[in-house]
Amino acid sequence: MRRLGDGVEVALHCAAVLAELPAGKVLSGRDLAVLHGVSESYLLKHMRALTAAGVTEAVPGPRGGFRLARAPEQVSLLDVVEAVDGPGPAFVCREIRQKGDVTSNDPCAYRKDCFIKRRMLAAEQAWRASLRGQTLADLMTDARAEIGSGNLRAVAGFIEEKQR
């Protein structure tokens, strides 16, 4: 449908890690950046967006960090995508059909929305509905089934060591 910003990947991975934290615990932005091999400033930009959207909470102070604001079952993938990339439409019709040298001067020809716009918006609605129907809990189910046990243990160990 559209190319999502790179921040969506970072945000989804961070949210998935935060979904594994014990209640009341946090991970620092620095530790999340180290875990994912990205710069802390880049990661924090996206974590601030998640916090502004109510997906995560930022706990201030020297022992602060981030945690999910809601249970993983209550955070849709669309919540994360829209937090980072915004809720605006992926396709914007500029009505170029009315601008060329070979356009109709009959205003009735353009009473309906552009046929391309209608199809693109319908596809986007289906895409958003699909993301709305999937949660962080679903991602965690996939992770447990698909990530090798060694990697799962390594991430769990990292979380155990770094949680505050």
State pLDDT tens for residues 137-154.
999 999 999 999 999 999
Amino acid at 77: L
- β-pair partners for 59: 65
At residue 104, the pLDDT reads: 66
Tens digits of residue pLDDT in 47-69: 999 999 999 999 999 999 999 99
pLDDT at 107: 64
Q: Are 56 and 18 in contact (CB under 8 A)?
A: yes
Look at 122 and 113; give whichever has higher pLDDT.
122
Residue 90 is predicted with a pLDDT of 83
Q: Using 50, 70 and 90 to split pLDDT, how confident is the model at 1?
A: very low
pLDDT at 126 over 50: yes
Residue 100 has pLDDT above 60, yes or no: yes
Beta bridge pairs of residue 65: 59
% residues pLDDT > 70 (the chain): 93
H-run or E-run covering 123: helix 115-132
**Which pTM does this prediction carry?**
0.86
CB 95 within 8 A of CB 114: yes
Least confident of 13-17, 34-38, 53-57, 89-93: 89-93
CATH topology of domain 6-86+136-162: Arc Repressor Mutant, subunit A (1.10.10)
pLDDT value for 143: 93
> What is the rounded CA–CA span in Å between residue 17 and residue 160?
11
CB contact set of 117 (below 8 Å; sequence gap of 6+): 91, 93
CA 136 – CA 122 distance, rounded (Å): 25
The domain limits of the chain are 6-86+136-162
